[in-house]
Every structure is written in C-alpha cells, then in structure tokens.
Amino acid sequence: MKTIILGPPGTGKTTTLLNLVDEFIKQGIRPKEIGYFSFTKKAALEAATRASIKFGLSAEHDLIYFRTLHSLAFRMLGVTKDKMMSKEDYREFGIRCNIPIKTASYSDEDGIFNSDNEYLTIINTARVKRIELMDCYDLRRNLLDIERDTLFLLDQELKKYKKEKGLKDFTDLLEDFIEQNIAPKLKVLFIDEAQDLSHLQWEMVRSIWNRAEKTYIAGDDDQAIFRWAGADIDHFIALKNEVDEIQTLKQSYRIPGGPIHELSQKIISKVSNRYEKTYNPRQETGLLRYYTDITQVDMSQGEWLVLASANHFLNDVKELCELQGWYYQYKGVNSLSLELLLALSNWEDFRNGKELN
C-alpha cells in the first residue's frame, strides 16, 4: 500500500509522520523494520532525534534506517570515507586536465554537488537526471564558454581518474545501490521531502519500496526549489496515478493569514502541473512589504536567504555584501576563505578587548 501525504508549509508533516511511526511501533513492528529517508541530513536527524526521545530508542543502534538516501547507500555499500572523492581530489583532477577548479564537493547536508566549474556541474546534473550528457548540455543556457568536445573528454577523464584512484562520489553511491539491488527489507517505508528528489533518487526510492510492505511519501510540490540541482518534481506529481491514497494536511501553524497567504496562493495557482490543495493559515495576520532595491533592506543582523529567478539578479546582492563587509555563500562557495574568516574573527575579538587563543 502506498500513500502520499501532502504537507503545505508549517502543517506538521514531520509530526504526522512520527505519529505514524509511533502507531506502527505500538503494533509490534520493530524500529529496525522502519525506514525513514529524507532529502536533507537535517530532516533525517530531526526525525531520528524526535523518535529516539519519544520512543526511548537509540538513534544509532535502533533507528538505523533513519537517514538520507545518500547515507543509506553509503552504509549498504560498505564504503569508507577515504574512498570518497574529496575537494583535494577534484583539484588534483583539475590540474591533471588543465582546467581551473577552485571548489567541487557534495554537500554533506543534502548531497547536492556544488562547483565553480561548469563542466563538472553539467556532468553531475546529467547523471542525477538520468539523461545523456549532450542532452543536458543542450538544456543549459548561457554556455558560451563551454565546449562540447571538452565536456565529453572531461567526462571520460573523470571516470578514468576515479577508477585509477579507486574513488567514488555521492552520485556513484546511488547508481551502485540501484545496480546492485541492495535495498533493505522493511515493513514500513517513509520518504520525506519528496519534492526535492532527483530522477536518480526516485529510482533508488522505487528499489526500496519494492521491498517494503507499506510506503508513505511525504512532501509538497509547491515548495520545490531544487529543480536547478536536478529535482524531478514532475515524477512526484505523477505518482498520484500509482498510489492508493492521497492525504493533505490542512492547518498551517507557520503561515500567517492575510496578505502573505493570499499572495502565495495567487502565485502558486498559476502553476499548471501541481497537486491541487488548500490549507488554512494561522489566525494572526501577516505583514507584507515591497522594496524596489536590495539596499533598502537592512541585512546587517542575523542570517539571510536571498532568492532570485536568475543568477545575474544576484550580482547586486553580492556587490552589496562585499561593500558592507558581509560574509556570504553563493552556489556553495564561501566569499572568504576559512583562514581569512578566522583572522577577521580574531581581529574583532582583539578590538573588543577579548583574549585570543
């Protein structure tokens, strides 16, 4: 039996899933027979922590299948960290192929590949989308500096480099998991943050649910923001034709009523291919402000996330951050090196009369 649980923002999706976990444990299903897999490490850790506290279990020994899909593949394949491609390996590969690679790594949080080298980005995107490399090239825009022949050769050289060194990357883990068909046998399977999964991850999910008696797929297609990284939202939406039941959580405990909720619904209603759903906001009325320029927003305090529909819109934001001396991350790359950040932190401590280590 397969069930989709649609969780609009702040509707208590994780709580709903953990309540289901509670029910199954009370029915006598062992924690090791329950799989809870999410897109981000944060969501998996939150679920494992809350479940361990609620049920008095050990996250490490009892909830062994509460993890990300990448972590599951890593565990089932028995790979060790020293056999994974590192930033240093990518830099060495860049030197060997005479291409500049300042940064290239998979995020430990969500497994997304980040690199300042567009060739490597296209290669990995094609793999997670399960499409031909040149088809992926044709789908990208503004690739005036990317040569097709060079892209093809670098793809071959990267495969050769990993084979020579006996190394794997995160995408290799998912591919090997699927090819070797090593999914654990589970009584109940939970897939969280389903809207963010790539085509490759969906293949992995299918290999897992084929060995599970019950499957719950939770997410919200309206909150999908990782299409740029290969997320296959259409796959999630198409599942409505395969599942036995679709449930929608109706009450948000995060989104205020009034203009914020109304504007969000007005915008999202223009998306043609989506799950139709309605949910109730909080009773409190929210406040919506419009600005004509980023400099009108005081970002001097706290942490900020700036989203834009295209990369070039963020140039003014980066320039503002640099003029103000604010540290920022762009496409996974730090604006300052860790060494410089430490030096600046020590300098500020010194200026404020604090002792230095």
pLDDT by residue for the chain (357 residues), tens digit each? 999 999 999 999 988 998 999 999 999 999 999 999 999 998 889 889 988 988 888 988 999 999 999 999 999 999 999 999 999 999 999 999 999 998 888 988 778 898 989 999 999 999 999 999 999 999 886 666 889 999 999 999 999 999 999 999 999 999 999 999 999 999 999 999 999 999 999 999 999 999 999 999 999 999 998 888 899 999 999 999 999 999 999 999 999 999 999 999 999 999 999 999 999 999 999 999 999 999 999 999 999 999 888 888 999 999 999 999 898 998 778 888 878 878 888 888 888 888 776
Do 331 and 112 contact (CB within 8 A), yes or no?
no
Alpha-carbon distance 350 to 278, whole Å? 54
Do 72 and 66 contact (CB within 8 A), yes or no?
no
Q: Confirm whether 216 is domain-assigned.
A: yes
Q: What separation in angstroms does the CA of 326 have from each of 47, 80, 112, 335?
A: 33, 37, 25, 9
Q: Confirm whether 356 is domain-assigned.
A: no
Q: Confirm whether 357 is domain-assigned.
A: no
User: Which of helix, strand or coil describes residue 180?
Assistant: helix
Residue 113 sits in the same domain as residue 208: no
> Which CATH number fits the domain that encloses residue 190?
3.40.50.300
Residue 252 sits in the same domain as residue 128: no
Q: Quote the tokens at residue 316.
A: 């003014």
Residue 178 sits in the same domain as residue 279: yes
Do 10 and 254 contact (CB within 8 A), yes or no?
yes
Q: Confirm whether 158 is domain-assigned.
A: yes
Residue 64 sits in the same domain as residue 28: yes
Residue 278 sits in the same domain as residue 181: yes
Q: Confirm whether 130 is domain-assigned.
A: yes
User: Given 285, 307, 325, which residue is the final one in a domain?
Assistant: 285
User: What is the tally of structural domains in the chain?
Assistant: 3
Q: Please, which residues bridge with residue 154 across strands?
A: none
Residue 198 sits in the same domain as residue 276: yes
What dihedral do alpha carbons 9, 291, 263, 309 form, nearest 10°? Answer: -70
Residue 89 sits in the same domain as residue 151: yes
Q: Which domain range does residue 324 map to?
A: 294-351
User: Given 167, 188, 212, which residue is the final one in a domain?
Assistant: 167
Q: What pLDDT, on a 0 to 100 scale, did the predictor assign at position 142?
A: 67
Q: Confirm whether 50 is domain-assigned.
A: yes
Residue 312 sits in the same domain as residue 333: yes
| 194 Ramachandran zone, left/alpha/beta (phi>0; psi -120 to 50) | alpha
Q: Confirm whether 122 is domain-assigned.
A: yes
Q: Confirm whether 40 is domain-assigned.
A: yes
Query: Rounded to two decimals, what is the model's pTM?
Result: 0.84
For residue 81, with 0-12 CB atoms within 10 Å meaning exposed, 13-18 middle and 19 or more buried, which class applies? exposed
Residue 101 sits in the same domain as residue 162: yes
Residue 60 sits in the same domain as residue 104: no
User: Given 285, 311, 333, which residue is the final one in a domain?
Assistant: 285
Residue 188 sits in the same domain as residue 63: yes
Residue 260 sits in the same domain as residue 302: no
